[in-house]
A = this chain, B = another copy of it.
Amino acid sequence: MQLCCSAPLLSRRTVSSCYGDPVVQTRNGPATARRSERARQAILAAALDLVCEVGYTNLRVEGIAARAGVGKQTIYRWWPSKGAVLLDAFLWLDDPHQAGPPALPDTGDLEADLTAALRQTVAELTDPRRDPPLRALTTAIAHDPELAESYAARVERPAREARRDRLRSAQRAGQLAPDADLDVAADMVWGAALTRWIERSGPLTPDFADQVVQTALSGLRPRPR
């Protein structure tokens, strides 16, 4: 797998030393000249800017290169496709803020924690800096298995596991039905938000997050009195 070259969700401070190898091979000697950090950041920033400005279908590798003041080959040397650039760029958005795998809050109050987490998801999905690249990635992975695997490994599975961890903790605490399938539960809660986001079929607000969590916990049936 050689899709993305940034360090995947590391906790190290010095990202600048975590490069992968070039996508295209050259004759090997004692490596001397190194990858340009300036170029890498300019490319990621340009990709984010452009996907917001012109959309994914109008996003061109040439355009990224031009905006970044970089040669096209410098992009193709390190990424196999514009989708891979975008994945790195998307993760790079959070690079400074979080330096480790995500985790849901665990205050002991399940409803509050889930609500906070889903509100966070909703906020990210509607963040104008994150919506366009994420939407682009969502469609790109549908047709690029390698990118899909990379996206799953670096974005999807970590999020999914964080959710399951929190739900398992709640189940242990007796706050969840002992026979509940945690994956089904998570798919219902986050799937509701994801569906609205993908289909743009309804408002995606904090209120919506609250309702989903409350409904998922209590169920749709009328409360017995």
Q: Residues of A at under 8 Å CB distance from B?
A: 27, 55-57, 66, 135-136, 138-139, 142-143, 148, 152, 156, 160, 174-178, 180-181, 183-185, 187-196, 198-202, 208, 211-212, 215-223
A219 and B222 in contact, given A139-B139, A188-B192, A196-B187 (Cβ under 8 angstroms)? no
Interface on chain A toward B: helix, strand, loop, or mixed SS?
helix
Pairwise interchain contact B220-A180, C-beta atoms closer than 8 A? yes
Alpha-carbon distance A212/B190, docked complex (angstroms): 13
Residue contacts A-B, CB under 8 angstroms, 14 given: A56-B142, A138-B139, A148-B200, A152-B199, A160-B201, A178-B222, A184-B215, A187-B195, A191-B192, A194-B195, A198-B198, A215-B219, A216-B219, A217-B220
Name the contact of A223 in the complex, choosing from B136, B177, B202 (C-beta under 8 A). Answer: B177
Given A181-B215, A219-B219, 5 more pairs with CB closer than 8 A: A174-B222, A175-B222, A177-B218, A183-B201, A191-B192
Pairwise interchain contact B55-A215, C-beta atoms closer than 8 A? no
Cβ–Cβ < 8 Å partners of A223 in chain B:
177
Cβ–Cβ < 8 Å partners of A220 in chain B:
176-177, 180, 185, 216-217, 219
Name the contact of A198 in the complex, choosing from B27, B56, B138, B176 (C-beta under 8 A). Answer: B138
